[in-house]
Amino acid sequence: MTTHELTEEMQGEYHYTVGPYPDPVLEIDPGDTVVAETHDAFEGAIETEDDLPSEVLGDYLNPQNGPIYVEGATPGDALAITIEDIEPRGPQPRGTTCTVPYFGGLSATDRTAMLHDPLPEIVKKLEVTTDGTVWNDDITIPYEPFIGTISTSPKIDSVNALTPFKHGGNMDLPDVRPGNTIYLPVEVEGGYVYLGDCHAAQGDGELCGVALEHPTNTTITVDLIEDWELEWPRLESDDFIMSIGSVRPMEDAARAAYADLVTWMADDYGFDEMEAYMLLTQVGHVRLGNMVDPNYTIGAGIDKAYL
């Protein structure tokens, strides 16, 4: 097994769409490990608390490393991507959160039109270490990093890096964290893995639309599962399995996730579908990834003790 470095210099231009058309920046074998230098969601454009998002961001958000070509991956397979480690990098204050006009869970947006003015723009630049994020003199938020955006390539489309769907994408799901494995569908030869948008911490829903964004050294190991055709991304920890749905409205995201979890339990764990449906009614749990992106994300899970 080989460990590959994917530095900013090697990456060159970061991508703001996810699709099959760019040339791969890296080719790896199943079982290999990649250490990627990810940017924050703004590619460093917000440098100080005086930099207003409306003035410095433009249309380019959520820069992605990749694509990474996985030898032997063909349509109908799945990639098992284990998140090994996420370390903050770059000069302090390297964490950023902010409010952005017409974006967020409690604001009018381009999809939810209202007559009121946008909320005020506020930027917080924050000290981030593995010991935590210093919010103010009284509050330090634990360092609980995860990958906000990770995906394989859709078969034909190039998808905005802000949009989660069946390929993965900007799910903003805190369970995509070190120690866990996310399973993604292979739709094109080589799979084409993209990743970025790592967070130092985030509450359920990413309420204002911007978590604790920070640049990182993110380490993943990529394995290949042949002939495992996935409808939606799936995730596994030591304690539970989870299916991930990303659509609007939010209840349809929950339905997609739970329906896929029923199928997973029937196909791989020997459950009758109706038995799984009724059991999940009693012991299933959901995680709200995001309630702000073009599609909302819900993870539906069950503890392994029941499997």
Q: Which long-range contacts (CB under 8 A, 24 or more apart) does 271-277 make?
A: none
CB atoms within 10 A of CB 303: 13
242 falls in which pLDDT band (50, 70, 90)? Answer: very high
Check residue 144 and give its pLDDT. Answer: 98
pLDDT tops 90 at residue 59: no
How many domains does the chain fold into? 1
Percentage of the chain modeled with pLDDT above 70: 100
Check residue 266 and give its pLDDT. Answer: 98
- Indicate which CATH number applies to the domain containing 24: 2.60.120.580
CA trace torsion 194, 64, 83, 172 (10° rounding) = -110
Selection from 100, 93, 168, 105 nearest residue 133 by Cα: 93
pLDDT in tens, 262-295: 999 999 999 999 999 999 999 999 999 999 999 9
Q: Is residue 296 part of a domain?
A: no
Q: Is residue 174 part of a domain?
A: yes
174 falls in which pLDDT band (50, 70, 90)? Answer: very high
Tell me the mean pLDDT in the region 31-51. 97
Q: Is residue 211 part of a domain?
A: yes
Q: Is residue 110 part of a domain?
A: yes
CA trace torsion 237, 238, 239, 245 (10° rounding) = 10
DSSP the chain: --EEEE-HHHH-S-BSEE-S-SPPSEEE-TTEEEEEEE--TTTT---STT--HHHH-TT--S-EEEEEEETT--TT-EEEEEEEEEEE-SSSS-EEEE--TT-STTS--SSS--SSPPPPP-EEEEEEETTEEE-SSS-EE----EEEEEE---SS--EETT--BTTEES---TTS-TT-EEEEE--STT--EEEEEEES---TB-TTS---B--EEEEEEEEEETT---SS-EEE-SSEEEEEEEESSHHHHHHHHHHHHHHHHHHHH---HHHHHHHHHHH-EEEEEESSSSSEEEEEEEEGGG-
Q: Is residue 242 part of a domain?
A: no
Check residue 110 and give its pLDDT. Answer: 80
Check residue 114 and give its pLDDT. Answer: 87
Check residue 108 and give its pLDDT. Answer: 87
Contact 174, 211 (CB under 8 A): no
Q: Is residue 155 part of a domain?
A: yes
8 falls in which pLDDT band (50, 70, 90)? Answer: very high
Distance CA 113, CA 260 (A): 32
Specify the pTM: 0.96
Check residue 112 and give its pLDDT. Answer: 85
Tell me the mean pLDDT in the region 208-231. 98
Q: Bridge partners of 127? A: 134
* Residue-averaged pLDDT of the chain: 97
Q: Which domain holds residue 87?
A: 3-230
pLDDT in tens, 98-111: 999 989 999 988 88
Tell me the mean pLDDT in the region 73-94. 98
225 falls in which pLDDT band (50, 70, 90)? Answer: very high
Task: Compute the chain's Rg from CA coordinates.
Answer: 19
CB atoms within 10 A of CB 222: 22
Q: Is residue 114 part of a domain?
A: yes
Contact 277, 263 (CB under 8 A): no
